Copies of this chain bind each other. A is one copy, B any other.
Amino acid sequence: MKRTSLAGDSCPVARALDVFGDWWSLLIIRDASLGRRRFGEFQTSLGLAKNILTTRLRALVERGILKTVPASDGSAYQEYVLTPKGHGIFPILVALRQWTEEFDEHPDEIATIMVDRDKGKPVKKLALLSQDGRVLDAADTTLKPRPGRKTARHRVTA
């Protein structure tokens, strides 16, 4: 009964979730984007079982989100750092953060705000723009078949 894989899905949302859509991966990526690099740092920060951290780190490395590098402090251990593909997840973390900031019922429990490093002022909400610069919400968008695509050889969900 294996957990169903979304890898061959034709929906880009599903394909992303297949890569880091489990319970821990995004939190590991968040930690990595905050500068944490060592196995032990992730483990104590997240409080997850070590065997699970092992499998998650391995999967993220295999999928090109993280890469292992020799430890920055000269020790013989290795560290895990984001690849460019991993850094590309940053907007997703921002979107998750902003959703909580806007809709969470206990916003007083949120510890941090995101500010721009220069001025120290809160960042603005992520904006989706059309090519001519209009701000779009869900109702202003549609999905079209991707140009230059034959027939659906894969699962078509969206």
Say which residue of B30, B113, B158 sits within 8 Å of A13 (CB atoms): B30
For chain A residues 74-124, which have a beta carbon within 8 Å of chain B?
85, 87-104, 108-124
Task: Answer yes or no: A10 CB below 8 A from chain B CBs.
Answer: yes
Contact check, A17 vs B10: say whether CB atoms are below 8 A apart: no
Interface string of A11-23 (1 = CB under 8 A from B): 1111111000111
The 4 A-B residue pairs whose C-beta atoms are closest, nearest first, are A12-B100, A10-B111, A116-B130, A112-B143
User: Contact: B123 with A126, CB < 8 Å?
Assistant: no
A145 to chain B, nearest CB (A): 6
Assembly CA distance A141 to B87 (angstroms): 13
Residues of B within 8 A of A128 (CB): 91, 94, 123-124, 126
A27's closest neighbor in chain B, by CB?
Answer: B14
Chain B hits for A144, CB < 8 A: 112-113, 115, 120
Docked-complex contact B12 and A104, CB < 8 angstroms: yes
A142 cross-chain contacts in B, Cβ below 8 A: 114-117, 120
Decide: B130 and A127 in contact? CB cutoff 8 A: no
Q: Does A70 contact B (CB under 8 A)?
A: no
Instruction: Determine the chain B residues whose CB is within 8 A of the CB of A34 once the complex forms.
Output: 143, 158
* Residue A40 is within 8 A (CB to CB) of chain B in the complex: no
Within the complex, which residue of B94, B103, B111, B156 is in contact with A111, where a contact is CB–CB below 8 Å?
B156
